[in-house]
Chain A
């Protein structure tokens, strides 16, 4: 546990030592800020059936920035260590492979969560200026941020797996970006293919991040996506661990 914690701390620190962290933070906050501004000004001009908070988490802007950040966060995790050779001192220290894998995954997760902290401010500022809450209830906030956590875990574990497969960060980023984008679009297929059975449509619905976010941002906590995302994350981390161990036989 102590070693896992040591690895986790190093991983989080290394984000803030590198320019990537600040580029991602600035880019992401810029898009999120513009998104929030547009939603509010849009709602100022007409009557709508949803809250500011729902609009914020379900807009095109939001999803655009969302799928892009995961390759940027995860591409360096393993690939950089392979490239620089720092994997050698790391793995000749008495640490277990799973400690390294979990240290890197949770390191990335911590950084991802840090990205979201400033967005809490948007809602606080909105409340202060308008004296109106941005959501119906506290549950809506909780639901939105819980879904962010679940989606984050899932997509970050995809990024971990692609980074462990190569020593080239660009390759890792391209593969994880394509995989995440395809999975994201899989959820949209149900709106495009009209001639499929309702069972197929339901099945595809399980993958639909957009639909999950719609539900959760209303404050409805559905356990099915929770089980789906948590179990997929575990499976992907097990695969990452296996791929990481296999490096010994590929050398």
Chain B
């Protein structure tokens, strides 16, 4: 659906993105992650035909986003960051206007506008001025607009930014459902959301792609995949010394809480050392009040790839 080859964009001598290469297949939900200023919005704007790349090319459904911009634009629904809207229009009026701009046949406009209002929960505000809507509703108007012409591809730039947890949950459900019929490229900072919705993830940093894989594979790849937390009373033993001897344990950090010691273990990926820890504790007659495996999250992957100092 999307094919990006050597895409580069330079502003005033600085590269916003450098030699991006990736593909998004039909029906895929692709997450697009990266720190602020990594080039996510730039890439999305180029794909949406809002600005041309400095070099390289990108196609949408086989149409070049620059030389066949109109055909490409007709096939995508784009929701820009912060959703700029005409504040002086009413929700209904805006959607009807957008439908006409997007070549929805006039006999289908009412039906399509009704459908997207239903889908995005805009029924109760349909007669309100857009300027009076809350952030959450503005976001939904933007999403409804992107869906109006039933595009094959949705490009959503931070669709959940500034929403409260309930609204984030609603939007996430909505995106999941949309993924059944549409190809979706979405950028976000909310990583658990990506783990839940996206089939594949691109992590971009300083204009380059650092990783492009399924969330599970990404988690498997990182160095410090997981860890174990143990809280124990070790009597006269040091505790850390003994734990370090278990195969697969990289290092142990100790904190003290009264007579309890809290050990945080870094473990090689794919290993579960909890059984060995249990045996060690029984052999040594330690009292254990917690033994937990901490799963690595996409957040760990993100931080490791984009800001290794923080790991």
Chain A residues with a Cβ under 8 A of chain B? 2-3, 6-7, 9-10, 13-14, 17-18, 84-96, 248-249, 251
Contacts and interface: CB of A to CB of B under 8 A. Distances in A.
Given A14-B88, A94-B102, 13 more contacts: A6-B101, A7-B101, A13-B89, A14-B89, A89-B78, A91-B50, A92-B48, A92-B50, A93-B73, A95-B101, A248-B50, A248-B51, A249-B52
B100 A92 contact: no
A86 B52 contact: no
A39 B48 CA distance: 58
Contacts of A96: 70
Interface in B72-111: 73-74, 76, 78, 80, 82, 84-89, 97-98, 100-103
B223 to A, nearest CB: 39
4 pairs of A and B residues whose beta carbons are closest in the complex: A85-B84, A17-B88, A6-B100, A94-B74
B97 A10 contact: yes
Given A10-B97, A88-B80, A94 B73 contact: yes
B101 A85 contact: no
B84 A89 contact: yes
The interface centre, meaning the residue of A9, A17, A89, A251 with most chain B CB atoms within 10 A of its CB, is A89
Nearest to A18: B88
A3 B51 contact: no
B158 interface: no
Nearest to B85: A86
A94 B80 CA distance: 15
Contacts of A14: 86, 88-89
Interface in B93-145: 97-98, 100-103, 142, 145
A3 B78 contact: no
Counting chain A CB atoms within 10 Å of each CB, the highest count among B76, B80, B86 belongs to: B86
Nearest to A247: B51
The size class of the interface chain B forms with chain A is 20 to 34
23 contacts: A10-B97, A14-B86, A14-B88, A14-B89, A18-B88, A84-B86, A86-B84, A86-B85, A87-B84, A88-B45, A88-B84, A91-B50, A92-B50, A92-B80, A93-B73, A93-B98, A94-B74, A94-B101, A94-B103, A95-B101, A248-B51, A251-B50, A251-B51
Nearest to A5: B100
Nearest to B54: A249
B49 interface: yes
A80 to B, nearest CB: 9
Given A92-B48, A248-B51, A2 B100 contact: yes
A161 to B, nearest CB: 22
Interface string B129-170: 000000000000010010000000000000000000000000
Contacts of B74: 94
A6 B49 CA distance: 21
Interface string B34-59: 00000000000100111110000000
A243 to B, nearest CB: 16
A9 B93 CA distance: 11
Contacts of B71: 94
Given A89-B145, A94-B74, A94-B102, A6 B97 contact: yes
Given A93-B73, A94-B70, A3 B101 contact: yes
Nearest to B44: A92
A248 B103 contact: no
Nearest to B100: A6
